[in-house]
């Protein structure tokens, strides 16, 4: 199938080639190492560490709860929030302490996502639920982007806040921070990490309370009662009786999750004292880019395809179901190619563009070219690609104007077995080589901060 949906616009120089980490996107995703390197290289001024800062609190949430009114509490973060852990602990606390209120949970978290992903999916996944309160946890997944594109991370987080407050001004928001290994010594030295410090700038500007769930764990590490990373063991204890906080350097053990939950609840106990409803004024934005206008649109009808692409829908059965049951929630249809040289082009007026698709065992290598500039490679396969994952982050910021971005599948094969060995899942490739044989590129949606352009260079609806 060869869709032929054509649009056009003038071209302007892009900044893509100047982005230092673009040619590394997806190559390893060894988060412990990447976070440590990013923390050392970051130029964000570090702020004083504190487990909890109340600011304007969450008065509207607690006012409704104290009156026994129904509320919707949303959680918006990465994998540490998506699964059982501090989210389930705090939700249980709400229900235990306010049994008369009807509490609805809206878990809109997505593993591997940070602010630069969250702002583009917020309208559909978060804002549409009209939550009364939102807990946002993106600081850990923002670590590397804070090094490379701090202004964009800050703007994206601010965009999420402004989307929520413009949709429902009384919405209470709290930022929750999780711990990564390279931040342990920083916290014990009295400083937040760079990504948390960046989040604090936004929180301070909008009067948003914050809780750092890892400070108690860091203190235990300082006292030699906790190790950040260790092998799986009974009771999450090492051979010296110390708590093992993570098994993989990122995701907490059951005990690590418990420590996070206890810290979050300590913050809630302080916030519950304030139950007088109040409005949340919307100050001028910190970022000159209007991030609250970030949006997601279908690729069908909005891009130009060249080469052999197949359109997959739920009706395609097994060829589609391999992507997982959530595929149907994310994409009405997915365009996929395994042909070297096949490409997809998007033209837009604005500052940011990107594609959303599925990446997994048969993902290959894409070459990205913006406005006729030099191509930049993006390895679509990652150390987590033994399973299919939903992806979609924007390319680095471009000057405001009309741009053309093209993604082309190359004929290269990533070093899949070597990459999977990082997470010790390379046996899956040897046991099921057919899953990894092809090299593909897929796209279902476009993320854009600006407007897509039609064939005449006019903004599309």
User: How many domains does the structure of the chain reveal?
Assistant: 2
User: Which whole number is the average pLDDT over 125-153?
Assistant: 95
HSE on the CB side for 82, CA within 13 Å?
12
User: Which pLDDT does position 290 carry in this prediction?
Assistant: 96
Looking at the structure, do residues 389 and 262 belong to the same domain, yes or no?
no
Q: Supply the DSSP symbol for 46.
A: P
The CA distance from 108 to 28, in Å, is: 26
Q: Which of 206, 239, 271 is the last residue of a domain?
A: 271
Looking at the structure, do residues 255 and 316 belong to the same domain, yes or no?
no
Q: Which of 238, 271, 304 is the last residue of a domain?
A: 271
Residue 333 has pLDDT above 90, yes or no: no
CATH of the domain at 392: 2.60.120.260
User: Which whole number is the average pLDDT over 337-364?
Assistant: 95
Residue 342 has pLDDT above 70, yes or no: yes
User: Which pLDDT does position 21 carry in this prediction?
Assistant: 31
Looking at the structure, do residues 114 and 73 belong to the same domain, yes or no?
yes
Between 150-167 and 115-125, two packed helices, what is the crossing angle to 10 degrees?
20
The CA distance from 369 to 372, in Å, is: 6
- What is the extent of the structural domain holding 174? 42-271
Name the average pLDDT for the chain: 88
CB neighbours (10 Å) of residue 155?
Answer: 28
Q: Which residue spans within 144-225 are E strands per DSSP?
A: 172-177, 210-212
The pLDDT-based confidence of 321 (bands split at 50, 70, 90) is low
Looking at the structure, do residues 315 and 259 belong to the same domain, yes or no?
no
Looking at the structure, do residues 370 and 445 belong to the same domain, yes or no?
yes
- Domain contains 284: no
The CA distance from 387 to 123, in Å, is: 27
pLDDT in tens, 353-380: 999 998 899 999 999 999 989 999 999 9
Looking at the structure, do residues 309 and 253 belong to the same domain, yes or no?
no
Looking at the structure, do residues 399 and 309 belong to the same domain, yes or no?
yes
Q: Which residue spans within 64-131 are E strands per DSSP?
A: 71-77, 103-107
Q: Are strands 401-409 and 343-359 parallel, antiparallel or unpaired?
A: antiparallel
Highest mean pLDDT among 65-74, 305-314, 315-324: 65-74
Closest alpha carbon to 109 in 138, 139, 144, 71: 138
The pLDDT-based confidence of 27 (bands split at 50, 70, 90) is very low
Q: Model pTM?
A: 0.89
Looking at the structure, do residues 263 and 337 belong to the same domain, yes or no?
no
Looking at the structure, do residues 262 and 318 belong to the same domain, yes or no?
no
């Amino acid at each position: 199938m060869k869709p032929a949906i054509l649009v056009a616009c003038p071209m302007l120089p892009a900044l893509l080639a100047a982005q230092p980490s673009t040619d590394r996107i997806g190559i390893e995703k060894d988060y412990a190492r990447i976070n440590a390197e990013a923390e050392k290289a970051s130029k964000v001024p570090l702020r004083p560490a504190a487990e909890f800062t109340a600011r304007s609190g969450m008065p509207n949430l607690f006012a409704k709860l104290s009156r026994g009114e129904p509320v919707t509490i949303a959680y918006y973060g990465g994998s540490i929030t998506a699964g059982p852990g501090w989210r389930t602990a705090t939700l249980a606390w709400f229900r235990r302490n306010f049994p008369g209120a009807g509490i609805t949970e809206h878990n809109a978290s997505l593993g591997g996502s940070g602010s630069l992903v969250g702002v583009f999916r917020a309208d559909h996944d978060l804002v549409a639920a009209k939550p009364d309160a939102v807990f946002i946890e993106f600081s850990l997944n923002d670590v590397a982007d804070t090094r490379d594109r701090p202004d964009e991370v800050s703007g994206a987080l601010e965009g999420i806040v402004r989307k929520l407050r413009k949709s429902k001004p009384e919405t209470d928001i709290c930022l929750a921070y999780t711990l990564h290994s390279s931040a342990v010594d920083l916290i014990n030295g009295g400083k937040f990490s760079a990504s948390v410090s960046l989040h604090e700038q936004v929180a301070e500007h909008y009067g948003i309370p914050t809780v750092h769930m890892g400070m108690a764990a860091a203190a235990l590490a300082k006292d030699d009662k906790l190790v950040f990373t260790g092998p799986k063991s009974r009771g999450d204890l090492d051979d010296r009786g110390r708590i093992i906080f993570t098994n993989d350097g990122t995701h907490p053990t059951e005990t690590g999750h418990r420590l996070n939950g206890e810290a979050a609840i300590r913050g809630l106990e302080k916030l519950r004292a304030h139950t007088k409803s109040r409005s949340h004024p919307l100050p001028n934005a910190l970022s000159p880019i209007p991030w609250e206008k970030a949006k997601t649109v279908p690729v069908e009808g909005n891009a130009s395809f060249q080469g052999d692409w197949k359109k997959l829908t739920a009706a395609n059965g097994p060829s589609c179901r391999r992507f997982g049951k959530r595929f149907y929630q994310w994409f009405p249809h997915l365009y996929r190619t395994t042909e070297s040289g096949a490409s997809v082009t998007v033209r837009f007026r604005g500052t940011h563009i990107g594609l959303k698709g599925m990446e997994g065992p048969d993902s290959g290598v894409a070459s990205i070219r913006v406005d006729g500039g030099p191509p930049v490679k993006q390895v679509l396969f990652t150390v987590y690609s033994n399973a299919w994952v939903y992806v979609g982050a924007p390319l680095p910021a471009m000057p405001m104007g009309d741009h053309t971005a093209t993604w082309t599948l190359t004929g290269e094969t990533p070093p899949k077995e070597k990459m999977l060995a990082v997470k010790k899942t390379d046996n899956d490739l040897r046991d099921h080589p057919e899953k990894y044989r092809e090299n593909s590129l897929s796209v279902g949606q476009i993320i854009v901060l600006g407007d897509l352009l039609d064939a005449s260079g006019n903004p599309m609806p």
